[in-house]
Amino acid sequence: MDQRTYNQYCATARTLDLVGERWTLLLVRELLTGPKRFGDLQASLRGLGTGLLAARLKHLERDGLAHKVTLPPPARTPAYALTEAGEELGPAVLALARWGLKWAMGERRETETFHPGWAVLGLRACFDAEAAGDLRAVYEFRIGDEVFHARVDHGTIEALHGPAQHPDATITIGEAAFLEVTGQTLTLAKAIKTGAATATGDSEALRRLNGLFRLPSPRDRTA
């Protein structure tokens, strides 16, 4: 498959030559949260056929954005991970996510899939480093069947898939209520009060949680 190009000697155009094809940036999004097996990527990117997924992964490998790895025991299975160059696309992907929360989200369409695990990057995108300057805590989130955690350490955040070893606080919430919280039609505090969510653990860590993540106020692009 020939790679399309803008044929412009411009940093933006050259970057889009590498990641501007359909699905490519979403593959980068998936790999930003850690190595993924081929099947994991297929499950997260419904609508992306097997052949096109293989082609996009070969493209990322050929252009030095991803490479093959073997997952550690007990999995010991082949997977894909980002290279240093691929990892440095992280800030651009997070900036797109923040822009989308403000200008593009709106209501969920009936045809749109949703994976709670995508919130792992959302935590990074909406993290308020200044509000966490004096905080050290580990939060575990259980949304539907998905479990992930965030380690906050004095103004930095590390958000990863899977449970935390020793969480200071655990938040459990259903997928529907979580979408309302991210859509800003429901606050986490109200979800807990109504029983749509539960929160357990250290009271101070829980008290600080509301101020750690700031969702941009939705705006109408046509206004």
pLDDT tens, residue by residue, 165-211: 999 999 999 999 999 998 888 989 999 999 999 999 999 999 999 89
- What CA–CA distance (Å, rounded) separates 82 from 80? 7
Rounded to whole angstroms, how far apart are CA atoms 92 and 32? 11
Spatial separation of the C-alpha atoms in residues 101 and 123, rounded to whole Å: 12
Query: What span, in angstroms and rounded, lies between the C-alpha atoms of 127 and 170?
Result: 18
Residue ranges per structural domain of the chain: 11-88, 116-209
**pLDDT for the residue numbered 61:** 98
pTM higher than 0.85, yes or no? yes
Indicate the CATH number for domain 11-88: 1.10.10.10
pLDDT beneath 70, residues of the chain: 1-3
Amino acid 1: pLDDT: 46
pLDDT score at 5:
92
Given CATH 3.30.70.100, say whether it is the number of domain 116-209.
no
Q: Which pLDDT belongs to residue 2? A: 54
